[in-house]
Amino acid sequence: ARAELKGLGLHPASLPLGVDIDAWLKDGKTGWDAFPNTGAGKVDAQTGPLAAALADRNVELETGAHVEYLEASSDVRTIAAVHYRQNGTLKKVTPKLVILSAGAVNSAVILLRSPSPDGKGLANRSDQVGRNFMNHNSSAMLAIDPRRRNTSVYQKTLMLNDYYLSDGKGGKPLGNVQLLGKIDGHILRANVRLAPQFALDFMAGHAVDWYLMCEDLPDPESRIMVDGKDIVMQWRRSNMQSLDGLTKVMRENFRACGYPIVLSRPFDKRTPSHQCGTVKMGDDPATSPLDPFCRSFDHRNLFVVDASFLPNSAAVNPALSIAAQALRVADHIRKTELVA
């Protein structure tokens, strides 16, 4: 695919990888990039920074614990306690600093469920907690050539950003294109109920699988809410014209590359991709719960550091942006809160 795309004047590039492919292949030459690796063969939050942190004797990890809410001090200017349930027992800790990193959905949920004088939850003077929920507009695209079999063991190695800043004709930005983890016939079965399995296996075996990703724009009415014990997601999709445009141009490109059959299907609410934006950072406490260092404007010892701080979703996986901001926030905390 790389050579064919270059032949069209496009600029495919290798994806940066944090995987040990050789270690995986020792256990068998089977496709594996479409599901998590529970070992150390892939760098993620657990095998990377968490493993390094746990090597420090000052770090403890409480497992089986579910944070239910935060408790504010009497003047509501700080967080006094974190209440969590572990093995059916409600417990609490009273830390000097609280860093909330439960993800864009659950960080908002914890804040909204936390008692506050105004009943709106904590860190929510701006009434923006839970709002501006974003989730990339994305689609799977299969470029199929019945004459060529795809024998990839690890497929997710290539990306294309030619349409990130414009549609290639001076128009509006579209988004990012990259290879998916290899799809097989059983994965297709979840979305195509009536086709015979042999046809799905043949289709998957002769397809190159792509992921098209476009920006979802912030909207205060696109939000996460709580209703008793239930979490309510009111996602209002935006900017779908970019996904439509990217789908159209990539279908044309793949056909020009020699793939006569090109199929695509957008991901819906059942398959969320890169949720973010629900506790956004900004300069004004009237419009943002967090400052640029992810510190709550309302509670000086509370930081929220996960995808929820992002004020926009861009059109790429936000993982490295979150990691970079986490390092930036950690340095800020070290200089301002941990001074001897």
Which pLDDT tens digit goes with each residue over 154-181? 888 999 999 999 998 989 999 999 999 8
* Structural domain span for residue 248: 2-12+136-266
Q: In this structure, is residue 289 part of a structural domain? A: yes
The pair of structure tokens assigned to 13 is 């590039």
Number of compact structural domains in the chain: 2
Alpha carbons within 13 A on the beta-carbon side of 114: 28
32: pLDDT strictly greater than 80: no
Q: pLDDT tens digit string along 190-226? A: 888 889 999 999 999 999 999 999 999 999 999 999 9
Q: In this structure, is residue 125 part of a structural domain? A: yes
Q: In this structure, is residue 110 part of a structural domain? A: yes
Residue 238 sits in the same domain as residue 307:
no
- The whole-number pLDDT of residue 340 equals 64
Residue 164 sits in the same domain as residue 311:
no
- The residue-averaged pLDDT of 9-24 equals 86
Q: pLDDT tens digit string along 290-333? A: 999 999 999 999 999 999 999 999 999 999 999 999 999 999 99
Q: 10 falls in which pLDDT band (50, 70, 90)? A: very high
- The whole-number pLDDT of residue 33 equals 64
pTM exceeds cut of 0.85? yes
Q: In this structure, is residue 39 part of a structural domain? A: no
Percentage of the chain surpassing pLDDT 70?
Answer: 96
Q: What are phi and psi of 41, to 5 degrees?
A: -80, -5
For the domain that residue 120 is a member of, what is the CATH number?
Answer: 3.50.50.60
| 266, 291, 309 - which closes a domain | 266
Residue 109 sits in the same domain as residue 166:
no
CB 207 within 8 A of CB 54: no
